[in-house]
C-alpha cells in the first residue's frame, strides 16, 4: 500500500495547511485525483509576507559566498530527489523525456545562480569619479520582499528560473506556484527546506493566481512583483502595484537565465564620503 | 540680521548688499512653445505669467500647451527619431550634446541669474551648483553616446524612441539637463515640460538647442500646467515617461501608464534621515545639517529633513544649530550674501506654513531664527522643531521647505529602525568618526543615496534615485543610461 503525500504550503520554514481550510483537486489525464492541494488565501499571503520580511535582514546580510553555497546545496538536494520530481512531472502530464530535461535544467539553473552570488556585484557596481574631493561608489542591494508568480505552463523549471536569481541577490520571496501544475512547487519547498535556506527566505503557496497575485500586488510590505505575462491580469496587477510603488517586473513567457534577472531585483545605492585634503604631499611613486 | 546670538560670539554679521547684475540677461516678454526648433504659438491661445517669487513681479508670459500642442510636439519628436536621430551614429549625436554643454558654459552667468529670478534660489547656488552641474551633465553624457555597448554588456543597446519628460521647479535647469542629456545620448528624442513656475531656463536652453543646430524635433519644450504634463503621459506615441516631482503625482503617472508599453523612471519625494553620532566632528556635522535642510530653501527631494542626534550630544548640537541658523541670511536671491532665498511660490509657502501650524498644534516645540524677511515676495524663516516623535505628521510627511525636525536616539539599532521606518527611501546622512560604523549604517539604511560625513552632494557620474516610494530607477552615471535603453 503506497503512502500518499499531503501537499501542503510552505511559510516561514514550516509546512502548514492553508489557514482557510480550502483545497482544490489536481487530476491526471485519466481524470483521477492525484492530489488535493491547498487553495491558499489572502491571509496566507499576508502570513508569508510577514515571514519573508522577518527573514530579509538575515538573508540579505549573509555573505555572498554563503548564499552561493546554499544555492549550490539546493542543486544537490534537487539532484538527490530527481526521481520524485520525474514522477510528479509525468503524473502531471509531461513525457518522460520532457520531465528529465526539465529537472536537469532546474538543477543546472540553481548551479548557474549559485555561481553568480558573489560575482554580479562586481559586474554591476561602479566607482564614480566625482568632480569633488569625495570617494563615491554605487553598489547593488536587494529590493526586499518579492512577490512572485511562477510561470504557469511548467511545474518546476518555471519557478526555479524566477526564484533562483531573486534569492541569489539576497531577496526573500513569496511565490505562488503554477495553478494547474502545483505539485513540484510543494516538493521543491522540501528541497529548499533541506538546503540550509533559513525559514522565511522562500515561501511557497498553491492556489488560484487570480486570488494570490492581486493580494501580493496590493500588499504594502512587498517591494516587487515578478511574473511572466499573465495576459489580462497584467494591467490589474500593475495598477495594484502603484500604491506603494512596488516594482512590477513582467517577463515574456519562456524566461531564460542571466545577469539581468538578478539586477532587475536590485536597488542601486550610491555612497559618498569626503577624502581628506590636507598638506601638499602627493604620491608619485 | 543676527540679533540673537546664542554662542561664543557677539559679532554682528551684517554685510553690505551685493546684488548680482541683471543687465546682461536677455528675456522676452512672451515665450512660445519650442517645437521642431521653432517658436510656435499655442493652439490654446493661452498664456500664463511666470513671476519672480522674491518680488512677485511678472517676468514673462509663457505659452500654455494643450493636447493638440503636445500632439504636435510628439509628432515632431517621432519624425526626428525615425528620420534623423535614430539613424545618426553615436559619435555624431555625442558632438551635438557636447555643443550644448559648451554653449551653456558660455552663457552660464545669464542662466544663473535667470534661474534665481524665476525660482527664488540664491544666486550663489544657481551660479555654483545648478548651472555648472547642468553643463557637466551634458558633457558627461555626450561622451556616452558612442560607447553604449560598454554601458550594457551582453546586450545590443537600443533607444526607446520618444521620451516624455516632466520636471519640477526646485532645480529647473539642472533637472532639464538630467532628463535631456542621457535621453539624447542613448538616441531618444524628447518632449520636455518644465514646471509652470519655472519655465524660463528650459526655454533659454531651447535657444541653445537651436543655436547648436540640433536637428528639428530632437528636443521639444512644451510649457504649461499639470494638464500639459498629463497630455504627455497619456499620448499613445510616447515610449518613455521620466518624471521628477511628488510621490502623489508619480503614482498618478504610474497608474496612467499601467497596461501600456511605456517605461517609466520616477524620482519622487523623500523624508531623509540625517544621523549624528556623539563621536562626529560636531561643527562639521552642524554645517552638514544646515546644508542638508536649508540648501535651496529646503526645496530638495533628498533634504535631510529628519535629524537624529545621539542623546548625549543633543543639547550641544541643538545649541550650535540654533546659533548657526541665526547667521543665515534670508532675502534677495540675487544678493551674493544670501543663504536662503525665496520660497518658489505662494502655493508652496502655504504648504510649508500649513505644516508649521500642524507641528505646533501637535505640541512640538518650534524655533525660528530671529532674522527679518522681506515684506514682499514669499519667504520663510529657517525653522526647526524639537520634542517630536515618529508619530508626528511633520516627521512623516515631506514638507519641501526649510523645516527640520529633531529626534534623539541612544543606540545604533534604534536609529536604524527609526530612519528606515518611512515609506520613503531617497537619501540619508551619517556623521561619525568611526569607519566601521559608517559602513554598518550606510549598508543598513534603505535609501538610494547615502552621504557619510557630508550631505547634498551631486555629480553627473553619481547615480541618484530612491528606494521604496521615493521612486523607480536611477539618474546619473552609467546606471542612469539604462533608463533610456532597451
Distance (Å) from the C-alpha of residue B477 to the closest C-alpha of chain A?
A: 7
Quick check: is B411 in a domain? yes
Q: Are residues B244 and B384 located together in one domain of the fold?
A: no
Contact A245 B268 (CB under 8 A): yes
| Same domain, yes or no: B353 and B392 | yes
**pLDDT tens-place string over residues B175-228:** 999 999 999 999 999 999 999 999 999 999 999 999 999 999 999 999 999 999
Helix (H, G, I), strand (E, B) or coil at B300: coil
Give the position of cell 493638440: B68
- How many residue contacts between A and B have a Cβ separation below 8 Å? 101
Q: Provide the number of structural domains found in chain B.
A: 2
Pick the residue from chain B with its C-alpha nearest to A125: B479
Q: Note whether B462 contacts A138, CB cutoff 8 Å.
A: yes
pLDDT digits (tens, 9 = 90+) for A175-196: 999 999 999 999 999 999 999 9
- Cβ pair A272:B153 closer than 8 A: no
**pLDDT band of B1, cuts 50, 70, 90:** very low
Contact B469/A at CB under 8 A:
yes
Of the partner residues A143, A234, A247, the one whose CB lies closest to the CB of residue B259:
A234
For the segment B266-289, the average pLDDT, to the nearest whole number, is 98
Which residues in chain A are contacts of B262 at CB distance < 8 A?
none
Q: Find residue B392's DSSP bridge partners.
A: none
B327 and B188 assigned to the same domain: no
Of the candidates B273, B270, B267, B271, the one whose C-alpha atom is nearest the C-alpha of residue B452 is B273
- Nearest Cβ partner for B461 among A128, A143, A259: A128
Q: Do B259 and A134 touch (CB under 8 A)?
A: no
* C-alpha B383, offset from chain centre: 21
Domain-located, residue A9: no
CATH label of the domain that carries residue B103 = 3.40.605.10
Q: Examine the pLDDT at B23 and tell me if it is beyond 60.
A: yes
Q: What is the pLDDT, as a whole number, of residue A158?
A: 96
Q: What is the CATH number of the domain that holds A176?
A: 3.40.605.10
Contacts of B136 in chain A (CB under 8 A): 131
Lowest mean per-residue pLDDT among A25-39, A112-126, A173-187, B241-255: A25-39
List the one residue out of A135, A140, A142 whose CA is nearest residue A124.
A140
B263/B288 same-domain check: no
Whether residue B145 is contained in a domain is answered as: yes
**Residue B341, domain member (yes or no):** yes
Kindly give, in sequence order, each residue whose CB lies less than 8 Å from that of residue A252, ignoring residues fewer than 6 positions away: A228, A229
Which sequence positions of B are flagged as catalytic?
267, 301
Q: Beta-carbon neighbour count of residue B128 at 10 Å? A: 12
Beta strand pairing call for B427-431 and B219-221: unpaired
Task: Say if residues B199 and B184 touch (Cβ distance below 8 Å).
Answer: no
pLDDT at B245: 97
> What range defines the domain where residue B412 resides?
273-452
Q: pLDDT grade, residue B13 (50/70/90)? A: low
Q: What's the CATH code of the domain at B437? A: 3.40.309.10
Cross-chain residue pair A244–B423, CB shorter than 8 Å: yes
Assess if residue B396 is contained within a domain. Answer: yes
- Extract the runs of DSSP E, i.e. beta strands, from A70-144: 126-127, 134-142
pLDDT tens figures, A127-165? 999 999 999 999 999 999 999 999 999 999 999 999 999
Q: Do B464 and A138 touch (CB under 8 A)?
A: no
* Number of structural domains in chain A: 1
Do B288 and B258 reside in the same domain of the chain?
no
B287 and B257, same structural domain? no
Residue located via cell numbers 509546512: A15
Q: Which domain holds residue A31?
A: 23-273
By the CB < 8 Å criterion, does B471 face chain A? yes
Q: Is the confidence at residue B5, as pLDDT, over 50?
A: no
Listed in sequence order, the DSSP H helices in B22-66 are none
Amino acid at each position: 500500500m503506497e503512502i500518499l503525500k499531503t501537499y501542503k504550503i510552505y511559510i516561514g520554514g514550516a509546512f502548514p495547511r492553508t489557514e482557510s481550510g480550502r483545497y482544490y483537486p489536481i487530476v491526471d489525464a485519466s481524470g483521477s485525483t492525484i492530489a488535493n492541494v491547498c487553495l491558499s488565501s489572502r491571509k496566507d499571503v499576508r502570513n508569508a509576507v510577514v515571514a519573508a520580511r522577518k527573514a530579509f535582514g538575515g538573508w540579505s546580510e549573509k555573505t555572498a559566498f554563503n548564499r552561493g553555497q546554499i544555492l549550490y546545496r539546493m542543486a544537490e538536494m534537487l539532484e538527490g530527489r530527481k526521481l520524485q520530481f520525474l514522477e510528479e512531472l509525468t503524473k502531471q502530464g509531461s513525457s518522460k523525456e520532457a520531465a528529465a530535461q526539465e529537472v536537469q535544467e532546474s538543477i543546472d539553473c540553481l548551479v548557474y545562480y549559485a555561481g553568480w552570488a558573489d560575482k554580479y556585484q562586481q559586474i554591476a557596481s561602479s566607482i564614480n569619479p566625482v568632480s569633488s574631493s569625495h570617494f563615491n561608489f554605487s553598489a547593488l542591494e536587494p529590493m526586499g520582499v518579492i512577490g512572485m508568480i511562477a510561470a504557469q505552463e511548467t511545474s518546476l523549471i518555471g519557478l526555479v528560473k524566477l526564484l533562483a536569481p531573486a534569492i541569489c541577490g539576497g531577496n526573500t520571496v513569496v511565490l505562488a506556484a503554477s495553478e494547474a501544475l502545483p505539485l513540484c512547487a510543494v516538493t521543491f519547498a522540501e528541497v529548499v527546506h533541506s538546503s540550509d535556506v533559513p525559514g522565511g527566505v522562500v515561501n511557497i503557496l498553491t492556489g488560484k493566481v487570480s486570488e494570490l497575485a492581486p493580494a501580493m500586488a496590493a500588499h504594502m510590505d512587498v517591494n516587487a512583483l515578478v511574473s511572466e505575462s499573465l495576459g489580462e491580469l497584467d494591467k490589474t496587477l500593475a495598477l495594484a502595484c502603484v500604491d506603494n510603488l512596488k516594482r512590477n517586473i513582467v517577463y515574456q513567457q519562456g524566461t531564460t537565465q542571466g545577469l539581468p534577472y538578478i539586477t532587475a531585483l536590485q536597488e542601486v545605492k550610491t555612497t559618498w564620503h569626503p577624502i581628506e585634503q590636507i598638506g601638499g604631499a602627493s604620491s608619485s611613486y | 540680521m543676527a540679533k540673537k546670538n546664542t554662542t561664543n560670539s557677539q559679532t554682528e554679521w551684517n554685510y553690505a548688499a551685493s546684488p548680482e547684475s541683471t543687465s546682461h540677461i536677455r528675456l522676452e516678454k512672451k515665450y512660445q512653445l519650442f517645437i521642431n526648433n521653432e517658436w510656435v504659438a499655442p493652439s490654446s491661445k493661452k498664456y500664463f505669467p511666470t513671476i519672480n517669487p522674491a518680488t512677485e513681479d511678472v517676468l514673462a508670459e509663457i505659452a500654455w500647451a494643450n493636447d493638440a500642442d503636445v500632439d504636435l510636439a510628439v509628432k515632431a519628436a517621432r519624425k526626428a527619431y525615425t528620420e534623423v536621430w535614430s539613424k545618426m551614429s553615436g559619435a555624431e549625436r555625442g558632438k551635438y550634446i557636447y555643443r550644448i554643454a559648451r554653449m551653456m558654459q558660455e552663457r552660464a552667468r545669464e542662466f544663473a541669474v535667470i534661474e534665481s529670478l524665476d525660482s527664488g534660489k540664491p544666486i550663489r547656488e544657481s551660479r555654483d551648483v545648478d548651472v555648472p552641474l547642468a553643463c557637466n551633465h551634458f558633457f558627461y553624457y555626450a561622451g556616452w553616446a558612442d560607447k553604449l555597448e560598454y554601458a550594457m554588456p551582453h546586450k545590443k543597446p537600443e533607444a526607446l524612441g520618444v521620451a516624455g519628460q516632466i520636471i519640477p521647479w526646485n532645480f529647473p535647469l539642472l533637472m532639464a539637463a538630467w532628463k535631456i542629456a542621457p535621453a539624447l545620448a542613448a538616441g531618444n528624442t524628447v518632449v520636455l515640460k518644465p514646471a509652470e513656475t519655472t519655465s524660463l531656463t528650459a526655454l533659454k536652453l531651447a535657444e541653445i538647442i537651436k543655436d547648436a543646430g540640433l536637428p528639428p524635433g530632437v528636443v521639444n519644450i512644451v510649457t504649461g500646467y499639470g494638464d500639459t504634463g498629463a497630455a504627455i503621459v497619456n499620448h499613445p506615441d510616447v515610449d518613455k515617461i521620466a518624471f521628477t516631482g511628488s510621490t502623489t503625482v508619480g503614482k498618478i503617472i504610474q497608474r496612467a501608464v499601467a497596461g501600456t508599453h511605456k517605461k517609466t523612471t520616477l524620482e519622487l519625494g523623500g523624508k531623509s534621515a540625517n544621523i549624528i553620532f556623539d563621536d562626529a566632528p560636531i561643527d562639521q556635522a552642524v554645517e552638514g545639517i544646515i546644508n542638508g535642510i536649508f540648501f535651496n530653501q529646503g526645496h530638495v527631494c533628498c533634504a535631510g529633513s529628519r535629524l537624529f542626534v545621539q542623546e548625549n550630544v543633543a543639547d550641544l548640537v541643538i545649541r550650535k544649530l540654533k546659533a548657526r541658523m541665526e547667521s543665515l541670511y534670508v532675502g534677495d536671491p540675487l544678493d551674493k550674501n544670501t543663504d536662503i532665498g525665496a520660497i518658489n511660490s505662494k502655493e508652496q509657502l502655504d504648504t510649508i506654513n500649513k505644516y508649521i501650524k500642524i507641528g505646533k498644534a501637535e505640541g512640538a516645540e518650534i524655533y525660528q531664527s530671529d532674522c527679518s524677511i522681506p515684506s514682499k515676495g514669499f519667504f520663510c524663516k529657517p525653522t526647526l522643531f524639537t520634542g517630536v516623535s515618529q508619530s508626528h505628521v511633520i516627521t512623516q510627511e515631506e514638507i519641501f521647505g526649510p523645516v527640520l525636525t529633531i529626534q534623539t536616539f541612544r543606540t545604533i539599532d534604534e536609529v536604524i529602525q527609526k530612519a528606515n521606518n518611512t515609506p520613503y527611501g531617497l537619501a540619508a546622512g551619517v556623521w561619525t568618526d568611526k569607519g566601521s560604523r559608517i559602513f554598518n549604517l550606510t549598508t543598513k539604511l534603505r535609501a538610494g543615496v547615502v552621504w557619510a560625513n557630508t550631505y547634498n552632494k551631486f555629480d553627473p557620474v553619481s547615480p541618484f534615485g530612491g528606494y521604496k516610494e521615493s521612486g523607480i530607477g536611477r539618474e546619473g552615471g552609467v546606471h542612469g543610461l539604462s533608463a533610456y535603453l532597451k
